[in-house]
Structure 1
Amino acid sequence: MSPFMPDQFAAVQKSNLSHLFTLTNMAFEGFQKLTELNLQTVRATLAEGQDNVEAVLAGKDLREVFTVQGNLAQPAAEKTVAYARNVYEIASNTHVELTKAVEAQYEQHNRNVQAFVDTFVKNAPAGSEAITALLQSSVAAASSTYQSIQNAAKQTAEVAKANFATTAAAAAGTAQQGAPRASKQ
């Protein structure tokens, strides 16, 4: 009995295509969320820009104009930080969804490979113990390598998240400190 059956091959290919479409749809949803955020941001920026120009033009003297301009710095910086936070959140959530899907697919693939190896070992002719041991150790090594890479990727993502939070907090603090200086000028 051959472990390579055309029906099994076709089923694996169908499963792989289904998984590819699932990943593509997840990525597209993330892109769609990012596009919607950008459209909302542009719409809000245009409206606020118009309000800001009208407020500056309504100033009766130069002191009022500078006061209005100084008061715009902090909200603009805060909105920039909030926008960056939203972009990061969308990217992070999309990454988490894609990672879960890929991990599930990998686990299924790993189970299929292990079942193939078990079937191969069970049906192996006498005298092929060295080949079957090599096959089993190769599968174990590949699985171990994948786990190491996956752990490193998770640690990298956690460091990036912490760095982003620190940077966002620093930017917000800088914006708050800069606003009083701008309004005094």
Structure 2
Amino acid sequence: MSPFTPEQFAAAQKSNVSHLFALTNTAFEGFQKLTELNLQTLKATLSEGQENVQAALAGKDLREVFAAQGNLAQPAAEKAVAYARHVYEIASNTQAELSKAVEAQYEQHNRNVQAFVDTFVKNAPAGSEALTALLQSGVAAASTTYQSFQDAAKQTAEVAKANFAKTAASATAANATPRAAKA
């Protein structure tokens, strides 16, 4: 006798498909944001490139041309840091949304498995205590393992975020130093 009815199986499949589409939509939204950022960056880069070429061509002598080119390095570095920050924010937000959805799905699945185990244990025939204990132990071990992986993933994300912030701050400070020296 199967512990699942056809209606329960169909409901579980419907729920899984719904979650799959939700995850796909979240990933697609992140990809769309990244694409929009790249298009905006490309448009700005082309516009600035045109302005820079015109400024270089407008120079009356070689010194003015080199001065115009020399003024480009600082804004380019700052823009690269800003771009990297935007990419990181998009990736981080998308990852957080995906993690939240997966975690909610896992918690629901864990509740369903625990309910199944509880029902199985309650209706188990006499003499199957070892099997029910093994089943309960397996479910507890799986839950503990998942929690360990989840904690490690959160810690890794926090370390990556801290490293990115530190790198961005260093790059900003390094870019500010030449500007302060010129002033």
Q: Same fold (TM over 0.5)?
A: yes
- Deviation for aligned residue 1:2: 4.2
Question: 1:111 & 1:180 partners in 2: Cα distance?
Answer: 60
Aligned to 1:27: 27
- Deviation for aligned residue 1:176: 2.7
Aligned to 2:56: 56
Evaluate the alpha carbon distance shift between residue 157 and residue 145 of structure 1 in structure 2; reply closer, same or farther with a 3 A threshold.
same
Q: How does 1:27-176 map to 2 (within 5 A)?
A: 27-176=27-176
Question: 2:106 & 2:180 partners in 1: Cα distance?
Answer: 54
Please list every run of 5 or more consecutive structure 1 residues that lacks an aligned counterpart in the other structure: none
Question: Structure 1 stretches (4+) deviating beyond 6 angstroms?
Answer: none
TM-score of the superposition, structure 1-length normalised?
A: 0.94
Evaluate the alpha carbon distance shift between residue 48 and residue 41 of structure 1 in structure 2; reply closer, same or farther with a 3 A threshold.
same
- Output the aligned Cα RMSD: 1.6
- Deviation for aligned residue 1:170: 1.5
Please list every run of 5 or more consecutive structure 2 residues that lacks an aligned counterpart in the other structure: none
Paired positions, count: 183
Report the identity percentage. 79
TM-score of the superposition, structure 2-length normalised?
A: 0.95
- Deviation for aligned residue 1:178: 4.3
Question: 1:74 & 1:177 partners in 2: Cα distance?
Answer: 10
Whether contact under 8 Å (1:34, 1:90) holds in the other structure is yes
Question: 2:42 & 2:10 partners in 1: Cα distance?
Answer: 48
Query: What letter matches 1:116 in structure 2?
Result: F
Question: 2:93 & 2:118 partners in 1: Cα distance?
Answer: 37
- Deviation for aligned residue 1:179: 5.0
Question: 1:54 & 1:180 partners in 2: Cα distance?
Answer: 27
- Deviation for aligned residue 1:173: 2.2
Question: 1:80 & 1:9 partners in 2: Cα distance?
Answer: 51
Indicate the SS of the match to 1:125.
coil
Question: 1:179 & 1:62 partners in 2: Cα distance?
Answer: 22
Query: What letter matches 1:57 in structure 2?
Result: L
Question: 1:36 & 1:22 partners in 2: Cα distance?
Answer: 21
Question: 2:103 & 2:10 partners in 1: Cα distance?
Answer: 22
Evaluate the alpha carbon distance shift between residue 61 and residue 180 of structure 1 in structure 2; reply closer, same or farther with a 3 A threshold.
farther
